[in-house]
Amino acid sequence: MVKKNSVLGIIGGGQLGSMLATAAKKLKIKTIILSDDPKAPAKNFCDEIIITNYNRLKKIDDFISKVNFVTFEFENIPFSVLEYISKHKKVYPKPSINQIVQNRFTEKKFVNKQGIKTTSYKLIKNKSDLLSNVSLLPGFLKTCTLGYDGKGQYFLNNKNEINELNIDFKKEYILEKKINLKKEISIIITRFLNNDCLIYEPIENLHVDQILNKSLTPAIIDKTNFDQAQLQAKLLADKLDYVGTMCVEYFIDENNNLLLNEIAPRVHNSGHLTINTYNISQFENHIRAVCDLEKIELKKNYSAEMINIIGQEIKNYRNKSYSKNEFFFDYLKTEIKEKRKMGHLTTIKS
């Protein structure tokens, strides 16, 4: 068993990479980040950063030679790169999981196969597929791969709107029925190498323009939804033989049905409040799981609310002073862009 003083390689240098590196430091684990972005903000938090295009083998080999374990902060790394790395070093969660959840269609099929409900959806390869599935409208047309924060999505009210949109059918899509949402929640779960799991309480999420705006704990939901969401997340983590922290996003419809939205094979924005509300955060638990460290039972200390700071808003937050129960996180991104997550603020309540 590899203990402290090991070196963890993290692929991806955004805010999730930064928070993973910070959690690793606390456990005296060195982090080396591999990123294709010369401005990657995680360079401010890790021990070393290797900047490279993901297809430059020499740099990838350099990364492999320096680390004991590898993990990642985003799921859209080319599968071939993860596969190559995993021939030399342990990669957790294992790359085959990414192959399933990187694609909305294979992800939903996998989820349904486990007896878990999702929204109604159909694979769309061309305009005639779309026209023969108008019964799913109003609905969302989503690219099967590479979408995040609502990117790669079109909302379609009715059949007439299909002709108005200039859809690039070089890509594959799913068409998904629009749900009248009562709530959105997420479950953060960490699974360890010995198959043990730690599950956080459901977190309630509010989205604005398809981007997470606010997360709350406790989530104000029925006990049935609470239990079912945790059970489903556990079942999926077991089925995937998952190692590390994973997030499962759910919709709750107006009839209180729980519908699984998507799986993120990584730490997640809705789990940022675990840094300030639990004895062990989602980030620390991820490091503990992938580096095979001790599992410590979870203890929730506070209720809380987290808000995402998007684009120009960050300027106001950088100049503010904060009270004892407020925790401001600046992701230290050099460029402010519209709709870009720049930081977050967690406010704890006893």
Sites of contact with ligand ADP (CB under 6 A): 119, 140, 147-150, 176, 178-179, 181, 184, 207, 210, 249, 261-262
Which lies closer to ligand ADP via its Cβ, residue 149 or residue 313?
Answer: 149
Residue with smaller CB distance to ligand ADP, 150 or 218: 150
Q: How far is the CB of 207 from ligand ADP (least distance, A)?
A: 4
Query: Order of strands, edge to edge, in the sheet holding 69-72?
Result: 48-51, 30-35, 7-11, 69-72, 90-91
In whole angstroms, the minimum distance from the beta carbon of 149 to ligand ADP comes to 5
How far, in Å, CA of 48 to CA of 21, rounded?
A: 10
Q: Select 79 or 148, whichever has its Cβ closest to ligand ADP.
A: 148
CA distance 299 to 280: 8
The span from the CA of 204 to the CA of 215, in Å, is: 6
Minimal distance in Å, beta carbon 49 to ligand ADP? 26
Rounded to whole angstroms, how far apart are CA atoms 102 and 263? 9
168 or 297: whose CB is closer to ligand ADP? 168
For ligand ADP, which is the closer residue by CB, 119 or 133? 119
Contacts of residue 313, defined as CB under 8 A and 6 or more positions apart, other chains included, come to: 342
Least distance in Å: CB of 5 to ligand ADP?
A: 37
| Shortest distance, position 173 Cβ to ligand ADP, whole Å | 12
**Spatial contact of 69 and 9, defined as CB atoms under 8 Å apart:** yes
Among 304, 247, 238, smallest CA distance to 274 is for 304
Measured from the CB of residue 222, what is the shortest distance to ligand ADP in angstroms?
A: 19
User: What count of residues does the chain have?
Assistant: 350
Number of H helices, E strands in the chain: 11, 18
Helices (H), 178-302: 223-239, 274-277, 282-290
Q: Which is nearer to ligand ADP, 251 or 329 (CB)?
A: 251
Tell me the β-bridge partners of 186: 203, 249
Looking at this protein, which amino acid is placed at residue 184?
E
Q: Which residues contact 338 (CB under 8 A, 6 or more apart)?
A: 311, 312
Kindly state the smallest distance separating residue 258's Cβ from ligand ADP, in Å.
14
Closer residue to ligand ADP (CB): 70 or 273: 273
